[in-house]
Chains A and B, each alone.
Chain A
Amino acid sequence: MAVLSTLIAALTIALLLRSIEHVSPFFETLFYIPVITSWVPASVIWKWLYDPTYGLINYILSLFDIAKQGWLQEPDLIIFAIVIVASWKMIGYYIIVFTVGLKNIPISYLEAAEIDGASALQRLRYIILPLLRPIILFAVVMSTIQFFNVFAPVYVLTASAQGAPAYDLKVVVSEIYRNGFEYYRMGYAGAESVVLLILVMTMVTLQFTLFREQK
């Protein structure tokens, strides 16, 4: 889910940036700021935004007459909360990735299509997206691996400290951490690591085989 939301948003922004070329470097830089922010401060910032009583997000919702939500306390909401943080953090990186990909598409193809009377959507569907396929594939694989290894936001946002009953969301890496270093079940945690390794390797092999088919 995080992969989808990040990549679709990043691709849309990258496409839109291409049509306003003269200001795009400025915005690319802005969107990159969350990327250089590391996970812990990023999660800490969002924890405060998500705060059930004084958080900014609940305040904005209250302007639209929506009741205060316990973003980090409701089991159904916390996963969205973490998806939002992860997408916010990574989107700038993929905007750059897609921008590089888009810049590599020869303008002449698009101009030829335009002369033949292809509409913007047709050019997007039949020229831009097919030529961008390797980049999209790369982005899907990379972001899947990245999001599977998310740990710091889960550690920070679900921290059940004093007076903060946060729901205990479990992801792969936090499970490895907990079993290995809180319960000292190294063997169990090791087995979980192997599962994670297999998952990562599957993604990589997938990418390589799909790349090869393209050539």
Chain B
Amino acid sequence: MLKERWIKILAYIIVPSFAIIVLIPFFWVLMTSLKTPSEISSWPPHFFPKELTNENYINIFVKENFFRYLLNSFIISIGSMFFVLLTSSLSGFIFAKYRFPFRTFLFAVILATATIPIQVYMIPLFIMVYKTGMMNTYFAMIFPMTIMTFGVFFMRQNIMSIPDSLLDAARIDGANELWIYLKIVLSLSKSSLMALGIFSFSEAWGNFIWPLLVVTTKDMYTTELGLAVYQRQFYIEYGAISAGAVVTIIPMLLVFTILRKNILQGFTTSGIKE
């Protein structure tokens, strides 16, 4: 692209220094989580702790029950991922391969809601949950995240690339529509299901405002919520708060490092193309 020498030199200076700036906060929080309280409040601050301590981690797991929060987050994220994959692949299949009245219109309606974030409709959603007495349940936390408009669009695009002749051949051999969906469509769209699964998992994991509204007791807290509430209560205990932040980041970081290729190439490319 731009291959001039001075641009290359500029890139080699700017890009790594920018990377360091981006990564310092993570490094700093990790170091803080391993420091003793007296060292945290020392001035000037040390970069590396003089004596390592695991006291902060013990604090959050024993006193604050972060295990429970992690478990809740996993239940919600896995649940949401499962339902998003199911609804997206099914409706994507229907929109891609069947003709029925108002098909384009219905698809346009679904697509129009794609960019509307939950913050816009959380009030009516909350009233629904409240009036039906579902407050503080896993169901209430998962159900706004069972259908993902982007997922429907994404799966439709992918399933459209499956040739019709393949499906027709199966029909001639006597396969019913459910069999076609389960055995042909799903197995041919494995990689896109994977990308969508990761995406919906991380969306559910990072969701904060919705659990904040519907959760009322501590044993239903997600890690996000637990951390946010925890840091409000104990402003001074930076060590424990940092440990909490590290614990909250690690699961997503693991998923990311293992499946990096899928994440970076999978949905960013298909999200932009029309």
Q: A residues within 8 Å of B by Cβ?
A: 12-13, 15-20, 27-34, 36-41, 44-49, 51, 53-54, 56, 59, 62, 88, 91-93, 96-97, 100-102, 105, 107, 110, 120, 123-124, 128, 135, 138, 141-142, 145-146, 149, 151-152, 155-156, 159, 161-164, 173, 176-177, 180-181, 186, 189-190, 193, 196-197, 200-201, 203-204
Contact = CB atoms under 8 A, between A and B. Distances in A.
Interface of B: 1-4, 7-8, 10-12, 14-16, 18-19, 22-26, 28-29, 32, 40-45, 112, 115-117, 119-124, 126-127, 202, 205-206, 208-209, 212-213, 224-225, 227-228, 231-233, 235-236, 238, 241-242, 244-246, 248-249, 252-253, 255-256, 260, 263-264, 268-269, 272
Given A32-B256, A100-B272, A193-B123, A173 B209 contact: yes
Contacts of A180: 123, 126
Q: Which of A29, A44, A163, A193 neighbours the largest number of chain B CB atoms within 10 Å of its CB?
A: A44
A68 B253 CA distance: 33
A196 B120 contact: yes
B259 to A, nearest CB: 11
Nearest to A26: B19
Main SS at interface, chain A: helix
A16 B231 contact: no
A33 B202 CA distance: 13
Contact of A13 (B2, B18, B127, B242): B18
A101 B23 CA distance: 25
A31 B40 CA distance: 27
B22 A40 contact: no
A53 B67 CA distance: 32
B115 A28 contact: no
Q: Which of B22, B23, B244, B252 neighbours the largest number of chain A CB atoms within 10 Å of its CB?
A: B22
A97 B273 CA distance: 11
Contacts of B23: 30, 33
Q: Which of A33, A34, A36, A93 neighbours the largest number of chain B CB atoms within 10 Å of its CB?
A: A36
A53 to B, nearest CB: 8
Given A18-B2, A30-B19, A38-B248, A156 B7 contact: no
B149 to A, nearest CB: 12
Nearest to B18: A13
Q: Which of A12, A54, A180 neighbours the largest number of chain B CB atoms within 10 Å of its CB?
A: A54
A120 B123 contact: no
Given A47-B231, A135-B272, A88 B22 contact: yes
